[in-house]
């Protein structure tokens, strides 16, 4: 049986920069500890960095481990791939130790909200079915302008 630690910059993995508004990196914890039921990551958001808008095909649990961040929930109006509107329906601040559950197919963003503070969380991505694949659909959005097309 193997353990690993959520902290520290060893075993860093770069993320797809198109999916984040600024610098972000992560550690894949579930690979290290051989947990196959779900993907478990530790994600480090540099100051002001957030995920772009996205939704998963399975449920997700976030556990804030350091800094100050938020989870924002959106609703999409319109089904066209690059002609739709979005509206923020909820904003949840995330401080150390906060834990939240995001249902599958919920449009959301999470990360640092304070430009002076980094933010880290554990993300537990729960497979929709045994041996299925956890999928994420990303929207192009820098949150300075607005969400546009699905990428």
Question: Interface with a copy of itself by CB under 8 A: which residues?
Answer: 1-7, 29-30, 32-35, 37-38, 40, 59, 61, 63, 65, 71, 73, 90, 92, 94-103, 106, 122, 124, 126, 129-130
Token representation of residue 106 = 């919920």
Which CB atom, from 124 or from 147, has the smaller least distance to a copy of itself? 124
Q: How many CA atoms lie within 13 A of 29 on its CB side?
A: 17
Query: Please, what is the minimum distance in Å from the beta carbon of residue 63 to a copy of itself?
Result: 7
Token representation of residue 90 = 């909820």
Query: Please, what is the minimum distance in Å from the beta carbon of residue 91 to a copy of itself?
Result: 10
Token representation of residue 75 = 């609703």
**Nearest C-alpha neighbor of 13 from the set 31, 28, 29:** 28
Which CB atom, from 82 or from 95, has the smaller least distance to a copy of itself? 95
Distances (CA, A) of 66 to 7, 44, 86, 103, 106: 10, 9, 29, 23, 24
Query: Please, what is the minimum distance in Å from the beta carbon of residue 148 to a copy of itself?
Result: 25
Which CB atom, from 30 or from 148, has the smaller least distance to a copy of itself? 30
């Amino acid at each position: 049986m193997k353990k690993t630690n959520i902290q520290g910059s060893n075993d860093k993995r770069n993320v797809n920069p198109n999916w984040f508004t600024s610098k972000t990196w992560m550690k894949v914890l579930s690979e290290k500890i051989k947990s196959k039921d779900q993907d478990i990551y530790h994600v480090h958001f540099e100051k002001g960095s957030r995920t772009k808008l996205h939704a998963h095909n399975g449920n997700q649990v976030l556990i804030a481990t350091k800094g100050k961040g938020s989870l924002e929930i959106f609703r999409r109006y319109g089904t066209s791939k690059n002609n739709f509107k979005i509206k923020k329906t909820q904003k949840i601040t995330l401080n150390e130790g906060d834990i939240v559950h995001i249902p599958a197919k919920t449009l959301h963003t999470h990360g640092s909200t304070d430009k002076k503070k980094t933010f880290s969380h554990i993300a537990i991505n729960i497979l929709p079915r045994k041996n299925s694949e956890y999928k994420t659909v990303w929207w192009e959005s820098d949150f300075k302008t607005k969400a546009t097309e699905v990428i």
